């Protein structure tokens, strides 16, 4: 299968590969899964690989770099193509609401019931 490296960490010997079958991403971990390439694959490299799914994770095996830096700008292009996300949380005040004019000295229902 053919894939493109979308993320890589040379120091940790890990990479994430998008595969041509457009199924789950494949995770490359450790030099033992790299087919004697000259260097650790970098984002944008075109690779050939075998994949093995263990549990929910798809592992890249027997990875061979076909073309180095075929699309070195890929990570930046992916980041720029994503629409900005709206925040999932919003700020909520934890202070009590002020007393509203015309409703008496205390605007909280429990306090009003106690004064009647």
Higher-pLDDT residue of 95 and 60 is: 60
Sign of CA dihedral 98, 102, 105, 109: negative
| 3-state secondary structure (DSSP) of residue 61 | strand
- Domains along the chain with CATH numbers: 2-79 (2.40.50.140)
Whether 61 has a pLDDT exceeding 70, the answer reads yes
pLDDT of residue 80: 72
Sorted by sequence, the CB contacts under 8 Å of residue 55 that are 6+ apart come out as none
What are the tens digits of pLDDT across the range 5-56?
999 999 999 999 999 998 999 999 998 989 876 689 999 999 999 999 999 9
Please state the φ and ψ torsions of residue 60, each to the nearest 5 degrees.
-90, 130
The predicted model scores a pTM of: 0.62
């Amino acid at each position: 299968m053919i894939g493109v490296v979308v993320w890589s960490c040379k120091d940790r010997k890990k990479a994430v590969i998008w595969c041509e079958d457009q199924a789950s991403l494949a995770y490359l971990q450790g030099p033992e899964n790299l087919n004697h390439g000259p260097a650790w694959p970098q984002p944008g490299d075109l690779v050939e690989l075998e994949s093995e799914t263990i549990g929910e994770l798809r592992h890249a095996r027997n990875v061979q770099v076909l073309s180095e830096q075929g699309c070195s700008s890929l990570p930046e292009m992916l980041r720029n193509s994503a629409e900005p996300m709206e925040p999932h949380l919003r700020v909520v005040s934890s202070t009590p609401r002020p007393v509203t004019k015309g409703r008496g000295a205390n605007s909280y229902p429990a306090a009003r019931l106690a004064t009647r």
